[in-house]
Amino acid sequence: MITEFVITAGEQPKRLDLFLVNRERDVSRSALQRLIELGRIRINDQVVKPSHKIKPGDRITMDVPKPEPLSMKGEAIPLEVLFEDESLLVLNKPPGIVVHPAPGNWTGTLVNALLHHFQTSGGSISAIGGKERPGLVHRLDKETSGVMVIAKTDMAHRALAAQFKLHTITRVYEALVWGVPKKSRGLIELAIGRDVKDRKTFSSRTTSPKASATEYMVDRRYGKVAAHVLLYPRTGRTHQLRVHLTSLGHPILGDHTYGGRKVCTVDGVEMPRVMLHARTLGFTHPATGKAEDYTRPVPGDMEKVMEALEQLSNPGGKRPLGSLDDMHAAEDAC
């Protein structure tokens, strides 16, 4: 499909690929770069490089092929299943895996792994989410690890979706943040939506703000450079935790999108990804009515970063007072 448009007056000079990635929400930056290099995206009928700077008055012609038909196939990707019955499945998602297929990620997703799991086990999966998102009641970002629930029946899907909508789901996240919040605990209330300038990010600069709230508690301080916080989201907006912590002045370590390059390395400690983990998920079982609660510790990559930060802030190796582990130990001793 060929489309054509002219850069409007007032548009700031920027790379062609960066300009297009904010305009074409369904096409990844790498895919756009390939199309530019193939000459399928041109400026003033000229073949250019992805780094070419656009300017007002430029005429951009795009010949973007239709997305290839999505053939949903199961793939033998390991799953850490925490619980499974006829209604639902609870798993611990590893970091680095995309939850559902989308342009640029047609394979290797959590959905592909789930399809293989159910094909080999003889189980079913809810069809409410459609071909691309079967059984998905909620999602986690690619780099976020942690507990997820998958609906196996349409009844379970509707019941769980209702709990998420009513905010009766129990959710606890762990994050490592840049710097240390002044208050040891607090509530962040900030309406957010898709950013007016960068359509792939979310912020309070939006034409469609949605109320959102996150409680937080500082669990451990790593000197003045970083902190380990527990997060209790009252709502479930896209990128809510990442945006809220950034608004507090303490973006999540490794989150280049919202925190910039400064949060990717702390005193020589490199962040392998966004340091965010969905630690606990609690809900009412759709079929039994019983309260279910699942908790998993942070994965190895995040644990190593925490150990490195601990060593930096406390070379002697003694754990600082005031952490949740210290409080729990004191409770056990009483």
CB distance 76 to 65 below 8 Å? no
Q: Quote the pTM value.
A: 0.74
Q: What is the pLDDT of residue 333?
A: 33
Q: What is the pLDDT of residue 334?
A: 32
* Per-residue model confidence as pLDDT tens for the chain (334 residues): 688 989 988 888 889 998 888 887 667 777 788 889 889 999 999 999 999 999 999 999 998 776 554 457 888 999 999 999 999 999 999 999 999 877 666 788 999 999 999 988 877 788 777 666 788 999 999 999 999 999 999 999 999 999 999 999 999 999 999 999 999 999 999 999 989 888 789 999 998 899 999 999 999 999 999 999 999 999 999 999 999 999 999 999 999 999 999 999 999 999 999 999 999 999 999 999 999 999 999 999 999 999 999 998 887 655 443 444 443 333 333 3
Q: What is the pLDDT of residue 12?
A: 85
CA distance 269 to 200: 28
Could you say which DSSP state residue 264 is in?
S
Six token digits for residue 75: 């793939």
Q: What is the pLDDT of residue 132?
A: 66
Question: Burial of 132 by CB count in 10 Å (0-12 exposed, 13-18 middle, 19+ buried)?
Answer: middle
User: Residue 283: left (phi > 0), alpha (psi -120 to 50), or beta?
Assistant: beta
**What's the one-letter identity of residue 274?**
V
Question: Which domains occur in the chain, in start order?
Answer: 2-63 (3.10.290.10), 81-165 (3.30.2350.10), 170-325 (3.30.2350.10)
Strand partners, 54: 14
Q: What is the pLDDT of residue 66?
A: 63
145-174 burial, b for 16+ CB within 10 Å, e for fewer?
bbbbbbbbbeebbebbbebbeeeebbbbbb
92-107 burial, b for 16+ CB within 10 Å, e for fewer?
bbbbebbbbbeeeebe
| Catalytic residue set | 141
Question: Burial of 208 by CB count in 10 Å (0-12 exposed, 13-18 middle, 19+ buried)?
Answer: exposed
Local structure of 146: helix, strand or coil: strand
